[in-house]
Structure formats: structure tokens, C-alpha cells
Structure 1
Amino acid sequence: MNCRLSIREDIHWIGVNDRETTLFENYWPLEKGVAYNSYLINDEKIAILDTVKFNKTTEYLEKIKEIIGDRKVDYLIVNHMEPDHSGSMLALLGAYPDMKIVGNKKTFPFIEGFYGITKNYYEVGDGESLDLGKHKLTFYLTPMVHWPETMMTFDETSGVLFSMDAFGGFGALDGGIFDDELNYDFYEDETRRYYSNIVAKYSPMVQRSLKKLAGLDIKMIAPTHGPIWRSNPSKIIDLYDKWSRFEADHGVVIVYGSMYGNTAKMADYLARIIAENGVKNVKVFDASKTHSSYILSEIWKYKAVVIGSCAYNTKVFSSVETVLAKLGNSGLKDRYISVFGNKSWSGGGVSGIEAFVSEIGWEKIGPSIEATYSPKDVEFEALNALGKEIADRLNNEYDK
């Protein structure tokens, strides 16, 4: 028997946990798994909001059957067509062949393209509504948050916003499904990692969508990943507003790539100088060990970034190059950046990072520092000056 989880009167969570998949989208690590959230409104008409990934279809259909018995599903509302949310659509339509598939005009080409479904379409436009009986659903189109067809569904009756991928995050739901039942710090970190790596490129569209939703009396946010925000939905809205406006906390992220420890030695020394000068949030990452998704999440959180690389075949070290590529594609703005590194028989590490700095347009603090073979007193003196300059800039800005 499945555990029934009602999030409001007549509204049920019918999501599933996936602790088997190791990489989300075959790229992002899922050390703590992921949840695929789906919801069922049990009214005069029955509506399901989004489905789950294909590897959980059997469990998913059992949950639906347990709630509604022999009744039919009248509507499947498709807020987002990514296969981790639409993967059980064919099976659901097979079980309920008269079910209407609700989407906007950009939804249906995805449905036909992925699954070959060409019937049962029910098109809705921005601001249009659908009555289920007691519950009235209104649809808000939010294109490019983060696919072209994305939309959100607001239940006027209960105040629940079904927000698709927006406001969601990584991490399976271990017993609790609500924000007040879980370790909040973990889910905030995993929500920011999700945002910074998957949604962040479309931050201007996030801002546009937040303005569209601003007039709604939102009592609960039900995303398709991560916890349901019932006790304080404004918290996650405020975080999305902050992240999509590129606001940052007082802190420094140092990212380096080192083959034989010399660049690592420079990173550790610089971190110590920054900490000695009053910056408590200093995060140091070996780009070869820590996946870029975690690094990008921390860079999204903190104001200053320092990138260090050894020269590797006349270029930036490969793992650092990956971080730079992700940063460049993320659209992040308004950060400070500094550069250091090491070379032996050729350069290319530091100069490669400098080329990235020119392209991204962030404000550079201090000169680039490059050691030859191994760092000597002259480089440590330069790192000492750089660390103090970074700390002074941050302290002056955040102590105002």
C-alpha cells in the first residue's frame, strides 16, 4: 500500500523518489537522489498535474489507482514537457484513453515529437482557467523558465501554485515532503545548485515570471522537484528573486586546477590571507575533485571569485576550463574576479583565464599572479597583497 499524502483538501502528492539514478540529465550528480513530484486534484473532474520519469511509471499508476479507484482521469495538465515530468504520459493515456491533455500551443509539438501523441489536446492561453468543480485552475505562461513551453498552474480555490521546475531542487524526499518537515539548509543548497546550473541562464525570464505572479495570493508552492513550500512560500520566492537578480553574499570562492600541488599551495595561501582579513566565508575547490555543479552553486552564492590554473599543454587545466565554460554559459553577472596560477616550460593557464575575464565582463581585483615552476617569496608577497585587497573590497561593501 502506498502512503497517501494530501497537501490540501482534495489535492494529493503522487510523486516518487529516485535514489537509483546517479546523474540528473546524465550530467549533474545526485548524491542524495531526486524527487519527481506529481499532483492529483480529486474533484468533480479529476486532474493530474505533470507525470514522473519513465522508470517510476508502475509505482506512479498504483498511487493514482489507490486514490481514485475506478474513476477516470479527466485532465492531464502539462506544465513542462521535459521527460523527467512527461515520461509516464503514454502509460497514463493508455490507462485513461479519454483523458484530455492540457497545455499551451507550444506544448503540443513537444508531445508529438517525444511520444507521437496527436489526440486529446486541450489548449489553454495565458490567464485562462479550467473549472474542476470546487477547484478552479488558472494558467500562467512562463516561457523559457527554462523551456519554451513552460507554464504554471494556480489553484484559485486553495492558493496552491503548481510551479513545474521553478522553485524546485535536487534531493529525494526522505519521509517529509514539506519544507517544515525537512533539513532546510540542505534543500536550500540543493535548490540553489539546481537553479544555478539549470535555470540560471534564463534569469531575465525568471524575473519576468515573478512579476507576472506577484499579484497572486500564494499559500503554497508545489514544484516538480524537491519539497513543497507550505510554511513559508515567500522564502523560496525571495531566493529566486535574489538569485535571478545576481545578488550575492559576503564571501569568496577559490577554484583551482593543479597537477603537482604548486597551484594548490597558492590557493591555500591566498585563502588564509583572505580569512585573516575578516572574510569568514571562504570556499576552496579543487576543480578536478569537485563537480562543476557544486562550484557554480557556490559562485552564485558569493560575491568574489578567484580562479587559479596551472598551464596544461599551453592552455588552462582541463577541469578549470570546464568550470569556466559553465560560468560563461550561466549568464551570471556582477561578481569580482581575480586570477593566479603556475607554469613551467610554457604558459597558457593564467593567460587563458584572463581571456575568460575579458569575455565575461566582471570587475577584476588585483593583478594576475603567475609562478614559474613553484611559487617563491615574490609570488607569496603578491598573493598576500591580493588577499588583502579582495578582503578589503568585500568588507567595505558589506559593512555599509
Structure 2
Amino acid sequence: MNTTEIYLIAMTVIFGLPYLIWRLGRTDYFAPLVVVQILTGIALGPGILGSAFPDVYRFVFNPAVIQSLNGVAWWAVMLFVFIAGIELDLSEAWEKRRESSITAGLALGVPLVFGAVAALPLLGMPGWLGPKATNWQFVLGIGMSCAVTALPILILFLERLHILREPLGQRILRYASLDDLAIWAVLALILLDWERVGKQAAFLAAFAVLSWLVRRLMARVPERDRWYLALVWLAVCGFGADWSGLHYMVGAFLAGVVLDARWFDQDKMDLLRHHVLLVAMPVFFLSTGLRTQWGVGGAMVFGVALLFLVASVSGKLLGLRLAGRILGWAPGEASIIGWLLQTKALIMIIFANVLLDKQVITSDTFTALLLMAVGSTMLTIPRVTPLLAGASGQNAVHRP
């Protein structure tokens, strides 16, 4: 078979197998389709399929096919991060800055510390620290991975729980938005390269000037032109960030942040996010799975993943409990918000991909973080659903 035919076989597997598992297995309560796609990507990677059926793995995922899939994956994840940047609205957070800053700060800071502490023992063990990482980059990277909230997945969960447009749902989005901004700022700090600091300073200076020009242009053209200009702007920012050593995903996020969501029809933006998740992101999940490794041993990787998961969940719940006590929240609110904000998939996987690309972490560390993200996301709906039901019952009892 030629490369095109093998590529289409790979695409058939990528889109068909997770859907069949999700639909026939009825996994949506504990594992939405996005989680099944990530798990399928892991199963199709070198650690499982490549180990069990090496000839099949080498045939389907040969270098030419992987390179083609990577091209789709790069653009898909850039679009996804770009949309997340556009939808980041900090105006309400500024209006309620005391509540927002206390909650977002504790929701990010406590699990970051817990994750950093969990990373410390790995510094003295071979196989976890990336070849180009300093100790502080590795510890901060793991800490932030444990603190991340997956804002796009959070939106999907809030919709499913029917609280997206409720005051509680809007509060949760406000906290997550502030943390999302902090996540990318910390990533830029981790990636700061003093040997290339001149390039990075040049990129940021050019970005500031071009952002001003793009914003003026966007405000003056019809909406139909804004969509095309936005894609050009995305490609330019991705190139500039990668050229400077920051990584193209940092550029994609910055490209979206400087654009106003009000310039685009919200329904069309929601459809674009939905279609990117449907049409292109499964390829990114597969390419992510192909990067998983078990070089230090499967049991060890699972053990470290469990350590990260405990640090992540306990840190997030403790942080929100502290915020609730300081701000006087109603009973049960801290647990609901904490469990929702601890969901990790997508954004943490994107974050970990950048750390792996820059050799801050190894493939084994990446695999442990990926497993942690999947476990975190699978816990969310089963834990939040009964908590919301209990909160609704209490409101009914206390209703005059």
C-alpha cells in the first residue's frame, strides 16, 4: 500500500474506534468521548499496540504517516488554544476582583505547591527529568500541571450539568479564566531561554505592535473578514513564538487573547470549537498517545501518575475549601467548585506536550501526567452530580 492508503487506514481507526467504544460501551457518565479518544490514543501508542503487535504498529504508524498526522494535530491544537484565548473574558473578574483573585489564587496556588512537592522525589531518580531542564523548571512544570483547569472541557461539563448559564456556572468560569491566564504566563516563564532572550524580546515587542494594528483592523472590517484575518494572525503568532523559542502554542494563545470575543458571533464561535473537537482534535489525541512511553516500567509510571492525581485533586479541593471559608460560601459550594475545577484533560495535555517538546520532562513523565489528566477528568461528573443533587435538595428544604 502507498502512504495515502495507510494514512486513511489510520484515520479510520482514529475516528472509528473511540466512537464505537464510547457509543456501544455507554461510557459518557464517567468517560466522555474526549476521554475515550485520549485513552484510545494511548492504547494505539508504542507502549501498548507497539508492544503487543509491533509489525502492525510499524505498518500503520510509519514515519510518513506520523508526520502527516502531526501536521493535522499541530493546526488542530493551535485552533483550539486560539479559541480558548478569544473566549477569555476578564472584565467580570475585574469587577469582582476580591472574590475572583482569592478563589483563583487558592485554586491555582495550593495544587501547584502540592504538585511541586510531589515532583521533588523524582529529581533524584533517573528517567523523569528532561535532558534540557533545570530542577526548578521541572518542579514548576509538574506543579503547574497539577494546578491546571481544562477550561474548554469545563464548559462542556457545565453544559451537561445544566449550570453553564446559572450564577454558579458563571462564577466557576470566572475563576477558571483567571487561572487559564496564569497557566500560560507560567509556561512562558518556564520556557524563557536566556540564550535566546534577544529573539524572545524581539517577538514580544513585535507582537505588541502588531496586536495594536490587528485590533484596529479588526474593529473596522466586517465580521466575515475577521474570521479569515484571525487565521492569518494565528499562523503569524504561532510562527513568531516558535521561532523565538517560546513554542507555537504560546503564540496561539496570545493571538487569541488580544482579540475581543464580541467581534465574532458567539454561536459561530461555539460551532467552530465543536467542529474542531469533532473533526481535528482526535488526531491530536492520537499523536499524543504515540508519545507515551513506559521506559521506567509500567507500574512505576502508574504509581507516579497516582501521586500526581492525589496532589492535584487534594490540592484543588483544599484550595477551594480555604476560599469558601474566607468568603463565606454556602455549605457544599466549595466541594462542587473544587471537583469541577480539578478537571484536567486537553489543556493539561497541551501544557505537558509543550514541556515534552522542550525536553523539560521525559516521555515517561509525560505518560504519568497524561494518565493523571485522564483520571482527573473521569472523576468529575461522577463526583459533582450527587453533590449538585444534594445542594438542590438543601435549597428545596430551606426554601420559604
TM (normalized to structure 1)?
0.23
Q: Which has the higher contact order (CA 8 A, sep 6+)?
A: 2
- Of the two, which has the highest radius of gyration? 1
Q: Greater share of strand residues, 1 or 2?
A: 1
TM (normalized to structure 2)?
0.23
